[in-house]
Structure 1
Amino acid sequence: MSDLTSKARTLLDLHSAPEILTLANVWDVVSAQVVAGVPGVRALATASHSIASTFGYKDGENIPLELHLDMVRRIVEAVDLPVSMDFEAGYGNAGDTARRAIEAGVVGGNLEDQMKPLDEAVAAVKAVMEAGRAAGIEFVLNARTDALVRAEAGTPRAQVLDEAIRRGRAFLEAGAPVVFVPGLVAREEIQQVAQALGPQKLTVISVPGVSLPARELQALGVARVSTGPFTQRVALTALQDAATELVAGGGLPAGTRALN
């Protein structure tokens, strides 16, 4: 079994296990190494928003794909864990982007539907899964539906949730092992969607000060919780706070660790 095949299988097993998979998203080599060094971390996921910000680009496929892939490749080479890449909506060709990500050593990925017609979104999911099969791995696609975050103002919440479930089920039927529903934070709604999709099929994002703790998400049947751009914002908040204190005449925080 190749290293890539083994890592893909490991990542898939982590999603299907009863214990929730917690992923603190990373954006460069040093953030990946720091997170990978935390006891209990079993896999890594990149954050496209954070990688784009690192190079001065806005989120939304504004960073050139080659530059994006180069950073992801560097992350993969710097750690021994399975790595999942957020490749947004697929940069115009989800299957080809997934193929290039796999060539960079990636074994899983996020793909946004951006509320495109469902047949188009399903076709993109199938293209990604086919890219994995062509490479001989069980690619772990975290198929994202933007049903909640792109819902028109005034749309009844029940209707929005029904659409998220409809799309999520279609992505699962197309071969995606899990479905990502950003904007899902309320306990009752998480429980509803998790039950509708099935055990260990739902993934969510942890929003600072809003989301449920990982242990409670696990009890609701959530397969995975990640952090998107928020881990980078945690780091940047600490940096800005330290700079503010220093400029005000103080010093750097006691207990600062040599992590690089």
Structure 2
Amino acid sequence: MKKTQQQKFEIFKSLHEREGTFLIPNAWNAGTAMMLSSLGFDALATTSAGLAFALGRCDGVAALTQGETLDNCREIVNATDLPVSADLEEGFGASPDDCAETIRLAAGVGLVGGSIEDATGNPLNPIFEFEQSVDRVRAASEASRDLPFLLTARAENYLHGKPDLDDTIRRLKAFEDAGADVLFAPGLPDLDAMRAVCEAVGKPVNVVMGRGGATYTVDDLRAVGVKRISVGGSFARAALGAFMAAAREVKEHGTFDYASDALSHKETSDFMVQPKKL
């Protein structure tokens, strides 16, 4: 019997409360959700980058509509019995009310968590002003209060040319005070910065791996206090990397050796739901 949304929420909440660190890989469609579920992960996340690339778009705020994002989330939720937390970008609007409405709609498609970021999508002014950022998180938190939903608040400085650790920590602490359940500053440069964030706040901290640059193990991240590890769009990019390598081999060399590294048709099919016969 499939778990209810409330049961998934309780499982997801308990993952953040137990000792140690857990992994939350990012699926970008039903098939990848099924494949990740089969490997024994405890929860899944979505990825706006993975979805944007699948639709032939660049990643970034305003690349996807709210409707496209929530339709993709519903597809992923329906494909797995694991708790799913979504990348909800900037909340699909600048106002606190926009963020609150996005949280309510996200819970309505079966999600048990999701993130709101403080990036504006405007390259001339990439980060929302401090007070507005806090108000947006507070509104999202208030909307989630009576829902089976954990709110992640993201401070985006490091992804937008503002490598200011003090301001990032200031924002995360304010987001915590505003009611966020999980805190996340993607792009932190090293373990020292991650440790500083984890020591400065009282809520669980998410970090993202797979972006390139320095590479750390789960044990490394656990040692500095990280609770949750996601991979963002990096699994999607890894899949696209294999796709391009195969295409280049065929085009440039006229060979088909890539097939020896590919999943077989049967292996792939075994991960998927078989259609019911009419």
Q: TM-score, normalised by structure 1?
A: 0.89
Letter of the 1:112 counterpart: E
Cα shift at 1:171 = 0.8
Letter of the 1:226 counterpart: S
Q: Is the 8 A contact 2:144 2:151 kept in 1?
A: no
Report matched runs for 1:67-106 at 5 Å.
67-92=68-93, 93-106=98-111
Cα shift at 1:209 = 4.8
The match for 1:113 among 87, 94, 118 is 118
The match for 1:249 among 254, 258, 264 is 254
Matched residues, percent identical? 33
Q: Counterpart of 1:259 in 2: which secondary structure?
A: helix
Cα shift at 1:229 = 1.1
Cα separation, 2, equivalents of 1:192 and 1:133: 28
The match for 2:145 among 106, 115, 133 is 133
| 1:81-111 Cα deviation digits (max 9, x unpaired) | 0000101000011111111111000010111
Cα separation, 1, equivalents of 2:174 and 2:248: 49
Report matched runs for 1:158-177 at 5 Å.
160-177=164-181
Cα shift at 1:254 = 1.8
Q: Is the 8 A contact 1:185 1:211 kept in 2?
A: no
Q: Is the 8 A contact 1:16 1:223 kept in 2?
A: no
Cα separation, 1, equivalents of 2:235 and 2:261: 20
Find out whether 1:56 has 2:68 as its counterpart. Answer: no
Cα separation, 2, equivalents of 1:58 and 1:223: 30
| 1:172-217 Cα deviation digits (max 9, x unpaired) | 111112111111131211111211114x622111023523112210
Hey, which bits of structure 1, 4+ residues long, moved more than 6 A?
none
Q: Counterpart of 1:88 in 2: which secondary structure?
A: coil
Which of structures 1 and 2 has the larger relative contact order (alpha carbons within 8 angstroms, sep 6+)? 1
The aligned length equals 249
Q: Counterpart of 2:104 in 1: which secondary structure?
A: helix
Cα separation, 1, equivalents of 2:158 and 2:215: 15
Aligned position for 2:272:
none
Aligned position for 1:17:
18
| 1:128-170 Cα deviation digits (max 9, x unpaired) | 22222243x2x21121001222344xxxx6xx11111111111
Q: Counterpart of 1:253 in 2: which secondary structure?
A: helix
Q: Is the 8 A contact 2:23 2:229 kept in 1?
A: yes
Find out whether 1:33 has 2:34 as its counterpart. Answer: yes
Cα separation, 2, equivalents of 1:134 and 1:55: 34
Report matched runs for 1:97-246 at 5 Å.
97-114=102-119, 115-135=127-147, 137=148, 139-152=149-162, 160-198=164-202, 201-206=204-209, 207-246=211-250
Which structure 1 residue ranges, 5 or more long, are not aligned?
none
Letter of the 1:219 counterpart: A
Cα separation, 1, equivalents of 2:248 and 2:159: 34
Q: Is the 8 A contact 2:134 2:175 kept in 1?
A: yes
Q: Is the 8 A contact 1:52 1:68 kept in 2?
A: no
| 1:57-97 Cα deviation digits (max 9, x unpaired) | 33222222112211110110111000001010000111111
Q: Is the 8 A contact 2:208 2:231 kept in 1?
A: yes
Report the aligned-residue RMSD: 1.8
Q: Counterpart of 1:85 in 2: which secondary structure?
A: strand
Q: Counterpart of 1:56 in 2: which secondary structure?
A: coil
Q: Is the 8 A contact 2:140 2:151 kept in 1?
A: yes
Cα separation, 1, equivalents of 2:128 and 2:65: 22
Q: TM-score, normalised by structure 2?
A: 0.84
